[in-house]
Amino acid sequence: MALDDALTPASATPASDVLDRTTDEDDTGPLYCYRHPRSETYVRCGRCDQPICPKCAVQGPVGFRCRQCGLVKNASIRDFSARQLALGVGVTFGGGAILGYFGGQIGFLSIFLSFFAGSFIAEGAVRFTGLKRGPVMRAIVYGGLLAGFLLGAAAQVTTFMNSVPVDVDVPVEYWLQQMLPFIAIGAGAAIAGAYSRVRWF
C-alpha cells in the first residue's frame, strides 16, 4: 500500500480539491464599483463583467448592466435611421389616408373598421421600424395615422362633392350632418386601435 502511494503522481490529485483551492484563492471578498471605488458590491455587469454598484446599475433584459452597456442598448431602441423613419411615416400616413378615404363611405361600420385597421397599421409601423420605442415612435404612429386619416377623409369629401351635379346646391350643413361625424368617430377609433396595439411603446 505504501508503495502504491509513493508511485501515485502529483497530477492524480482529485480535480474537486484543485477546484476548491482555486475558488478559495479567487474569492477575495466584495468587489468595488468601477466608477465609485469606495462602493462595495457583489454585482457585475451582465455584458462587460465590470463590477457595478446600485447607483450605476441599469436593468437589462437578462440582469443588471453598467450605464455604458445599458445606455447603448436603450439608444439602439430609440434611435432611427433615415430609412426607418421613412418606412414608419409611410406606413402610418399611407395607411391612415386609405382608411380615411374609404372609412367615411361605409357609415357607422367605419368605427369597427377604423379600430381594427388602426391597430394593424400601428403594428406594421412598429415592425417596419425595427421594434423601436419612445416618444418619436409614438409621434410617428399617432401623428402619422391621424394626419393620413384627415387627408384621406378630405379627399373622400372632395370626391363626394365633385360627384354632385352642378345644378344641385348641396348646403354645408348637409356635409356637416352626414359626413363629419363619421370622419371624427373614425379618426378617434383609429387612434384607439393603434393605442390598444402599441400602448406599451
Is the residue at 168 inside a domain?
A: yes
Angle separating helix axes 144-163 and 180-198, nearest 10 degrees: 160
Same domain, yes or no, for 91 and 190? yes
Same domain, yes or no, for 89 and 155? yes
Taking only the tens place, the pLDDT of each residue in 124-163 is 998 888 878 888 888 999 999 999 999 998 888 788 777 7
Is the residue at 8 inside a domain?
A: no
CA 94 – CA 114 distance, rounded (Å): 14
Same domain, yes or no, for 73 and 84? no
Tally the domains of the chain.
Answer: 2
CA 139 – CA 89 distance, rounded (Å): 9
Domain end, chosen from 51, 77, 103, is at 77
Q: What is the DSSP letter of 107?
A: G
pLDDT score at 86: 92
pLDDT score at 13: 44
Q: Tell me the residue range of the domain where 98 lies.
A: 79-198
Same domain, yes or no, for 94 and 186? yes
- For residue 82, name the pLDDT band (cuts at 50, 70, 90): confident
Same domain, yes or no, for 88 and 174? yes
Same domain, yes or no, for 142 and 43? no
Taking only the tens place, the pLDDT of each residue in 163-185 is 767 666 666 666 667 777 788 88
pLDDT score at 63: 77
Same domain, yes or no, for 85 and 175? yes
Same domain, yes or no, for 72 and 167? no
Is the residue at 17 inside a domain?
A: no
122 pLDDT higher than 70: yes
CA-wise closest residue to 113 among 103, 104, 128 = 103
Same domain, yes or no, for 85 and 159? yes
How far is residue 95 from each of residues 23, 86, 112, 154, 164, measured CA to CA in Å?
Answer: 61, 14, 16, 15, 27
Same domain, yes or no, for 141 and 190? yes
Same domain, yes or no, for 93 and 176? yes
Taking only the tens place, the pLDDT of each residue in 16-74 is 443 444 344 445 667 888 888 888 888 888 878 888 888 888 876 677 888 777 665 55
Same domain, yes or no, for 63 and 84? no
pLDDT score at 76: 67
pLDDT score at 146: 92
Is the residue at 152 inside a domain?
A: yes
